[in-house]
């Protein structure tokens, strides 16, 4: 789970965050990413989308539907929980892991596109790569994120980015998605609470 | 917040649910080509067993290994305890080696709590997991029972579960009546009067379970699960029942009772924590029936213990909103 992502909740009454992506922006960004994935792989016949819980799963589901519209055939979509592979479990509240679900196609010799909402330090993606290696051997692994906020701590980059968002460490990026948060899609940025 | 698991009551409702939810994810590891998670790499877990055990000890060992912890087994018979070393010195010696957790089984009720108390008093950071202490508690058994039943029956709210047999000597019973009612199950404890602990009525009132001494009546009323308890003859000093045959006639899951159970509820399941006294508390036909979850319980035991080790050790004991 991306550390930036809060649990689902109704918007609170604190001062409003600054919206950096609206529902329309998110829709357009995902459509572009879907086209990029198809173009990059010369179709989608060998592609498997794996969302990283929690909101990455919803984004992967949407990307799968968009690619199916483009290509006219279903794309396998699953989820990959990385909780047990994180390197920052110590000294943090214990997290209950989400479900890992792999499509029946498996991942061996497939192009796996990992999907997450926010790319920040890169540690979630590193954990996902470790987890994936325990499940099989994909032909290639790529990364699609809705927002890249920078501040990488590992040599990891995204192949498909909805929006590059320059931020400071003192800011919090919040992604909300209909279907997970029960509110309209948005990406907002705010000063993190001290 | 706690860093020990001595009793089911150490888990608040959120923690209980989190342990069971996490166990479901851990269960998938058993079916993977690579049965290994890196979560507890660098942690050391000692399984310190002063009583014989097959299931609990091996499943804790497998759980630790699959979580990448270094696990070491010490038995009472092979330890310095057999030379007269006190429990306090034994556990302090082990803790002084820098281990992260001691999984302890002991014949004395309250032994795990005593050890945890010593550690807390002296600032020792080692966690204590109670793997069964005398006739007191066996929390991970109750957790794996709840998990197994949920996997088969779905949510336990409203499910009717009967716990049957040697209640007086059963730590499994004690942990289960702390867990199952909290998950919404209607629990009835069935035992002959001689094997019902004194004062159990007050526990029943406090923890929300019913009591009966008539197994046939309970089965006939229709139950979703029968949890048969082992008759613990090694803990019996007196005559709790006239003969084994008489016990079986009154409280064993015989072939006839199995037929009634299935007739009243075709979906009913049978549990037993093991080891089973076949022919005493459970007939072979029942133990090996399609409705028997005995081996499912063993399989679930590894997953649940992985989950418990994760909850206690992954965060260095900082477990907000997880453990009470």
Per-residue pLDDT tens for A120-154? 999 999 999 999 999 999 999 999 999 999 999 99
Closest chain B C-alpha to A13 CA, distance in angstroms: 23
Sign of the CA dihedral with B264 first, then B268, B269, and B272 last: negative
Within a domain: A184 = no
Closest chain B C-alpha to A89 CA, distance in angstroms: 5
Find which of A84, A85, A92 to mutate to test the B interface (most B CBs within 10 Å of its CB): A84
Q: What is the distance between the alpha carbons of residues B140 and B303, in angstroms, rounded to a whole number?
A: 10
Find which of B15, B38, B100 to mutate to test the A interface (most A CBs within 10 Å of its CB): B38
Low-confidence ranges of chain B (pLDDT < 50): 1, 318-324
Per-residue pLDDT tens for B81-128? 777 889 999 999 999 999 999 999 999 999 999 999 999 999 999 999
Provide Rg for chain A, Cα atoms: 16
Contact across the interface for A96 and B319, Cβ inside 8 Å? no
Contact across the interface for A94 and B28, Cβ inside 8 Å? no
Taking contacts as CB-CB distances below 8 angstroms, the residues of chain A near B39 are 84-85, 89
Nearest-by-Cβ selection for A94 from B34, B67, B322: B322
Confidence of residue A9 (pLDDT cuts 50, 70, 90): low
Within a domain: A158 = yes
pLDDT number for residue B323: 43
HEC per residue, chain B: CCCCECCHHHCCHHHHHHHHHHHHHHHHHHHCCCCCCCCCCCCEEEEEECCCCCHHHHHHHHHHHHCCCEEEEEECCCCHHHHCCCHHHHHHHHHHCCCCEEEEEECCCCHHHHHHHHHHHHCCCCEEEEEEECCCECHHHHHHHHHHHHHHHCCCCCCEEEEECCCCCCHHHHHHHHHCHHHCCEEEEECCHHHCCCCHHHHHHHHCEEEECCHHHHHHCCCCEEEECCCCHHHCCCCCCCCHHHHHHHHCECHHHHHHHHHHCCCCEEECCCCCCECCCECHHHHCCCCECHHHHHHHHHHHHHHHHHHHHCCCCCCCCCCC
The answer to whether B265 contacts chain A (CB < 8 Å) is: no
Q: What is the distance between the alpha carbons of residues A121 and B186, in angstroms, rounded to a whole number?
A: 48
Within a domain: A94 = no
Per-window interface: B 92-151 vs A, CB < 8 A: none
Q: What is the CATH number of the domain that holds A146?
A: 3.40.50.2020
Backbone angles phi, psi at B257, to 5 degrees: -65, -35
C-alpha closest to that of A188 among A13, A21, A56 = A21
Within a domain: A5 = no
Nearest-by-Cβ selection for B315 from A81, A91, A97: A91
pLDDT number for residue B236: 56
Residue-averaged pLDDT of chain A: 92
Domain that holds residue A52: 25-87+99-167
pLDDT at A12 over 70: no
Closest chain A C-alpha to B128 CA, distance in angstroms: 18
Within a domain: A191 = no
B263 annotated binding-site participant = no
Alpha-carbon torsion, ordered A92, A98, A103, A108, to 10 deg: 20
Structure-model confidence comparison of residues A7 and B147, the more confident one: B147
Find which of A85, A86, A93, A94 to mutate to test the B interface (most B CBs within 10 Å of its CB): A94
Taking contacts as CB-CB distances below 8 angstroms, the residues of chain B near A134 are 32-34, 36-37
B208 annotated binding-site participant = no
The region of weakest confidence among A5-19, A56-70, A103-117, B154-168 is A5-19
Closest chain B C-alpha to A130 CA, distance in angstroms: 9
B275 annotated binding-site participant = yes
Contact across the interface for B314 and A99, Cβ inside 8 Å? no
pLDDT number for residue A1: 40
According to DSSP, the residues that pair with B212 across neighbouring strands are B190
pLDDT number for residue B232: 80
Q: What is the distance between the alpha carbons of residues B195 and A128, in angstroms, rounded to a whole number?
A: 52
The answer to whether B34 contacts chain A (CB < 8 Å) is: yes
pLDDT number for residue A100: 95
Contact across the interface for A84 and B38, Cβ inside 8 Å? yes
Taking contacts as CB-CB distances below 8 angstroms, the residues of chain B near A97 are 21-22, 25
Q: What is the distance between the alpha carbons of residues B175 and B203, in angstroms, rounded to a whole number?
A: 12
Per-residue pLDDT tens for A89-104? 988 888 999 999 999 9
pLDDT number for residue B174: 97
Closest chain B C-alpha to A103 CA, distance in angstroms: 14
pLDDT number for residue A81: 97
Contact across the interface for B315 and A84, Cβ inside 8 Å? no
Within a domain: A29 = yes
Domain count, chain A: 1
Asked if B10 and B117 touch (Cβ cutoff 8 Å), the reply is no
Q: Which run of H or of E encompasses A185?
A: none
Percentage with pLDDT > 70 across chain A: 91
* Terminal alpha carbon distance of chain B: 5
Within a domain: A129 = yes
pLDDT number for residue B80: 76
Q: What is the distance between the alpha carbons of residues A163 and A99, in angstroms, rounded to a whole number?
A: 27
Within a domain: A130 = yes
> Which residue of A lies nearest to B321 if distances are taken between CA atoms?
A93
pLDDT number for residue B240: 78
Contact across the interface for B38 and A85, Cβ inside 8 Å? yes
Taking contacts as CB-CB distances below 8 angstroms, the residues of chain B near A107 are none
Q: Is B266 exposed, middle or buried (0-12, 13-18, 19+ CB in 10 A)?
A: exposed
pLDDT at A8 over 70: no
Give the CA angle between residues A180, A181, A187 to the nearest 5°: 105
């Amino acid at each position: 789970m991306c550390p930036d992502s809060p649990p689902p909740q109704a918007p609170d009454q604190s001062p409003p965050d600054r919206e950096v992506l609206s529902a329309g922006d998110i829709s357009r960004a995902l459509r572009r990413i879907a086209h990029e994935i198809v173009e990059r792989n010369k179709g989608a016949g060998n592609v498997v989308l794996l969302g990283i819980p929690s909101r990455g799963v919803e984004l992967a589901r949407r990307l799968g539907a968009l690619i199916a519209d483009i290509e006219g055939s279903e794309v396998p979509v699953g989820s990959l929980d990385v909780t047990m592979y994180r390197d920052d479990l110590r000294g943090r509240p214990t997290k209950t892991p989400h479900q890992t679900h792999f499509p029946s196609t498996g991942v061996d010799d497939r192009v796996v596109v990992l999907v997450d909402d926010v790319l920040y330090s890169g540690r979630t993606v590193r954990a996902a790569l470790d987890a994936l290696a325990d499940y099989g051997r994909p032909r290639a692994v790529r990364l699609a994120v809705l927002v890249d906020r920078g501040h990488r701590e590992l040599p990891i980059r995204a192949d498909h980015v909805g929006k590059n968002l320059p931020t400071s460490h003192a800011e919090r990026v919040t992604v909300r998605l209909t279907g997970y948060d029960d509110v309209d899609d948005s990406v907002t940025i705010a000063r993190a609470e001290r | 917040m706690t860093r020990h698991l001595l009793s089911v009551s150490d888990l608040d409702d959120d923690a209980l649910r989190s342990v069971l939810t996490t166990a479901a994810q851990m269960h998938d590891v058993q079916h993977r080509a690579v049965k290994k998670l890196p979560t507890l790499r660098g942690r050391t877990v000692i399984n310190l067993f002063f009583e014989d055990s097959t299931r609990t000890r091996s499943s804790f060992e497998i759980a630790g290994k699959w979580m990448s912890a270094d696990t070491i087994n010490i038995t009472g018979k092979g330890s310095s305890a057999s030379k007269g070393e006190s429990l306090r010195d034994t556990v302090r010696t082990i803790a002084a080696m820098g281990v992260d957790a001691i999984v302890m089984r002991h014949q004395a009720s309250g032994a795990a709590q005593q050890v945890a108390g010593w550690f807390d008093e002296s600032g020792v950071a080692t966690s204590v997991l109670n793997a069964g202490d005398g006739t007191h508690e066996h929390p991970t058994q109750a957790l794996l029972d709840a998990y197994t039943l949920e996997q088969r029956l779905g949510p336990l709210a409203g499910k009717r579960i009967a716990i049957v047999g040697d209640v007086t000597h059963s730590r499994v019973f004690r942990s289960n009546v702390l867990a199952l009612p909290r998950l919404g199950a209607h629990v009835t404890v069935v035992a002959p009067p001689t094997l019902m602990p004194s004062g159990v009525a007050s526990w029943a009132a406090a923890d929300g379970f019913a009591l009966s001494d008539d197994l046939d009546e309970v089965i006939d009323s229709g139950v979703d699960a029968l949890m048969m308890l082992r008759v613990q003859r090694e803990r019996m000093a007196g005559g709790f029942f006239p003969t084994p045959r008489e016990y079986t006639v009154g409280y064993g899951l015989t072939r006839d009772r199995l037929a009634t159970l299935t007739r009243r509820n075709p979906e009913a399941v049978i549990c037993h924590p093991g080891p089973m006294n076949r022919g005493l508390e459970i007939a072979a036909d029942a133990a090996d029936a399609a409705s028997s979850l005995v081996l499912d319980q063993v399989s679930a035991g590894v997953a649940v213990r992985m989950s418990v080790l994760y909850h206690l050790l992954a965060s260095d004991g900082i477990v907000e909103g997880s453990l009470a």
